[in-house]
Amino acid sequence: MPASFDDSVLALDRQLIQVVYRSRSLIDGAAYDRLLSTCLSNNPRRGITGVLITHSGWFLQVLEGAAAEIHALLRKIEADPRHTDFLVLRLTAIPTRDFGDWSMASVAVDERRFLELAEHALRAEDAMMSMVRDFLCYGRWGQIPG
């Protein structure tokens, strides 16, 4: 029996996707801690995982989850007055999560690493995800090929 249109739409809504965006933070200190705490609280209920990479007031965030949840969250994030210069660098369907163990990990990096990760995200290179995941798991950075 072929799937109906509604079944197809539901399947797309449940498709696992990964998005990487960058923005400039307008908060720091306690406000940043509250933001991270909110993510840690809300993301598990939505089935969202990821990592927030920061450098000198810039965010580079990776989010993973069902397409419908990620799209709803992106609309909310884009309208959030706590940051500006929002730009999606990568949006792709994924077979498995890269950051499934973290409702929202947070990593501060130097400028060189931040720009390198953003460049690899723009080129849709999976090496970036592997580097960040390895850092979260093992606590050390390797070289991004390229």
Pairing relationship of beta strands 105-108 and 49-55 according to DSSP bridges? parallel
How many domains, the chain? 1
Residue 133 lies in a domain: yes
Domain contains 59: yes
CA distance linking residue 104 with residue 41, whole number of Å: 9
Q: Is residue 144 situated within a structural domain?
A: no
Chain Cα centroid distance, residue 58: 14
For residue 94, give its domain range: 14-138
Give the least confident one: 6-10, 76-80, 96-100, 135-139.
6-10
**Could you give the CA distance from residue 105 to residue 18 in angstroms, rounded to a whole number?**
15
1 domain-assigned: no
CATH of residue 36: 3.30.70.100
Assign 98 a pLDDT band (cuts: 50, 70, 90): confident
Q: Would residue 105 count as lying in a domain?
A: yes
pLDDT tens across 28-50, in order? 889 888 988 888 888 899 999 99
Q: Is residue 55 in some structural domain?
A: yes
The pLDDT of residue 9 is 46
Q: What does the pLDDT average to over 95-122?
A: 86
Cα separation, 34 vs 63, whole angstroms: 18
